[in-house]
Amino acid sequence: MLTSSPLRTAVGATAIVLLTATPALALGPFLRTSGLLSDFAPSAPGPFDGASARVQLVESARGSHAVLTVNGIDRSADGRTFGAHLHDGPCVAGNGPAAGPHYNSHVHGQTPVAGINDRTEVWLDFTASEGSGTGTASVPFVPEPGSRSVVIHALPTNPATGGAGDRLACLTVAW
Ligand SMILES: [Cu+2]
């Protein structure tokens, strides 16, 4: 279509400028994944049975931004806030410990000051509303690639300790 040519040209020029200005930075989304949540306690009924989730990680000039969206949550959980975090290890159904600890940028040598907070870890707490919930986080680092997971917990994240109760469900995030 002839009318689209100027737009294509403009987009191409912008891309060239970005690549030239920041050759070492892969700005933009580097992970998009979605699927049914895996259950850590398959034999017990829970609010995330049959629920699905989507995770996107985007690299920005200041670090990265993460978005978690969960759909299909049991309506009895409406109004409840659940802790959710990026964890170091993989998502394995029926095996909460396999997900390992929270991804922590200091532990990975990416930030000089030790700490457990929403700047060193990717916390994605969300509140269920009409069966859905969205959590977002902006952090001053880009998580290292690996076979990782987002884990959903039974309670909101305690800002002093990072704890959030039992591990209920998870989604694989690997890149
Ligand atoms: Cu967690």
Q: What's 149-171 look like in SS3?
A: EEEEECCCCCCCCCCCCCEEEEE
CA of 165 to the centre of ligand 1 (A): 9
Distance (angstroms) between ligand 1 centre and the Cα of 112 equals 22
pLDDT band at 39 (very low <50, low <70, confident <90, very high): very high
Look at residue 63 and tell me if it is in a domain: yes
When pLDDT is cut at 50, 70 and 90, the band that residue 26 belongs to is: low
Q: How far is the CA of 3 from the centre of ligand 1 (A)?
A: 50
Q: Is residue 32 part of a domain?
A: yes
Q: What is the pLDDT of residues 95-126, one digit of tens each?
A: 999 999 999 999 999 988 899 999 999 999 99
Is residue 174 within 8 A of residue 90, CB to CB? The reply is: yes
Ligand 1 centroid – CA 2 distance (Å): 51
CA of 148 to the centre of ligand 1 (A): 12
- Whether 64 maps to a domain, the answer reads yes
Q: What confidence category does residue 61 fall into, taking pLDDT thresholds of 50, 70 and 90?
A: confident
Q: What Rg do the C-alpha atoms of the chain give, in angstroms?
A: 18
1 lies in a domain? no
In the predicted model, what is the mean pLDDT of residues 124-148?
97
Q: How many domains does the chain have?
A: 1
Is pLDDT of 130 > 60? yes
- Does residue 12 fall inside a structural domain? no
CA dist., res. 118 & res. 48, Å (int):
24
CA of 152 to the centre of ligand 1 (A): 6
Are 106 and 113 within 8 A, CB to CB?
yes
In the structure, what pLDDT confidence band is assigned to residue 29 with cuts at 50, 70 and 90? confident
Range of the domain at 36: 26-174
CATH code: domain of residue 143: 2.60.40.200
What is the distance in A from the centroid of ligand 1 to the CA of 84? 5
Q: Are 139 and 79 in contact (CB under 8 A)?
A: no
* Over residues 68-75, mean pLDDT: 98
Q: Is residue 20 part of a domain?
A: no
Q: Is residue 18 part of a domain?
A: no
What's the 19 CA to ligand 1 centre distance in angstroms?
36
Ligand 1 center–CA 83 separation, angstroms: 7
Query: Can you tell me the distance from the alpha carbon of 175 to that of 164, in angstroms, rounded to the nearest whole number?
Result: 25
What pLDDT score does 42 carry? 87
Q: 153: CA distance to ligand 1 center in Å?
A: 6
Provide the 10 A C-beta neighbour count for residue 96: 19
| Residue 151 lies inside a defined structural domain of this protein | yes
